[in-house]
Amino acid sequence: MGKWSPADDAELATGWRLWLELSDRVWPDPSWDGTPADAIRQVRALLSVCEEIRLSYLDETSRPSVALLQLLQSMSFVASFAVDLWHDDTHPLDVERAELLHGDLASFADHVAGVRAALARGGGWAELDRRPWGLPVD
């Protein structure tokens, strides 16, 4: 994962907001109806938030950080395969398809964890990624 270090307050606030949004929005929530399309709904919502964060950041700064924009844009790129594959699949999952969907979501979750780690290192809040007893949150 790339390196990022905030150059100004706008960049720091954007990185912090992205880090917070990525904390728990990869896996289906309790309202999940058991279909791949609904599992991907939350990923799509997260991608919408990432785009909102990107546009807001671009409005706030005259010198946007290439590294931060790359982190934001990587979210759509990495999720695109799973979103394209599963977004309109409204059939209940069988065991084989559940394993495939889980693998796709796990790959995206790994990427999200890497983005969060890069943000935490660059923003100086890496210790927030740990619970008091030392286990990673992600």
Residue 128: pLDDT over 90:
no
pLDDT digits (tens, 9 = 90+) for 31-50: 999 999 999 999 999 999 99
State residue 129's pLDDT score: 56
pLDDT digits (tens, 9 = 90+) for 87-102: 999 999 999 999 999 9
Residue 60: pLDDT over 80:
yes
Residues in the chain: 138
Find the mean pLDDT for residues 1-12: 84
Helix (H) or strand (E) holding 21: helix 9-21
- Rg of the chain over all Cα atoms, to the nearest angstrom: 16
State residue 124's pLDDT score: 79
Count of CA atoms in the C-beta half-sphere (13 A) of 90: 1
State residue 2's pLDDT score: 63
State residue 24's pLDDT score: 79
Beta-bridge mates of residue 130: 136
Find the mean pLDDT for residues 51-70: 95
Share of the chain above pLDDT 70, in %: 89
Range of weakest confidence among 21-25, 34-38, 62-66, 106-110: 21-25
Residue 137: pLDDT over 60:
no
Beta-bridge mates of residue 136: 130
